[in-house]
Amino acid sequence: MLYTAESAALCAVELYSYVPPSSPPLDYWLQIIVLPDVEIAEVDPGFYQTVWVDLKNESQAIGDEFVRSNKYLILKVASAWIHPCFNYLINPLHTEFKNVRLMDAIPFPFDGKLYELPSH
């Protein structure tokens, strides 16, 4: 599964939620991709009526079924951290994955506002 976010800002917040502040990603790169024009699956909005950040097993089951069914290339899911922003999960097993293109990769440094950067 390729996890993507709709913006660099959301990417930073999503990353921050998984990486401890004492372990900043020192050589992180932002990759900008272009997706083919395909139908996008979306998680049922009713799923988000619960505090779904606590529904780890249910979220994983949705992702597992998305990949297993192989019906869609892209699954749109609401961010658990910033509403109403979205993440897009990309299925690398889907036949259209070959049409996902890397447009650019740029350094994505963290300057110490979110992370405790090591002193030099």
> Containing H/E element for 67?
helix 56-69
Beta strands 40-42 and 74-78: pairing type?
Answer: parallel
What residue has token string 């979110």? Answer: 114
* 120: pLDDT strictly greater than 80: no
What would the pLDDT profile of 65-118 be if each residue is shown by its tens digit?
Answer: 999 999 999 999 988 888 789 999 999 999 999 999 999 999 988 766 666 666
Q: How far apart are CA 44 and CA 27, in angstroms?
A: 36
pLDDT, mean over the chain = 85
The full set of domain ranges for the chain reads 2-107
**Which of 24, 29, 25, 33 shows the shortest CA–CA distance to 6?**
33
Q: How far apart are CA 32 and CA 25, in angstroms?
A: 18
Token pair listed for 5: 């976010």
pTM: 0.84
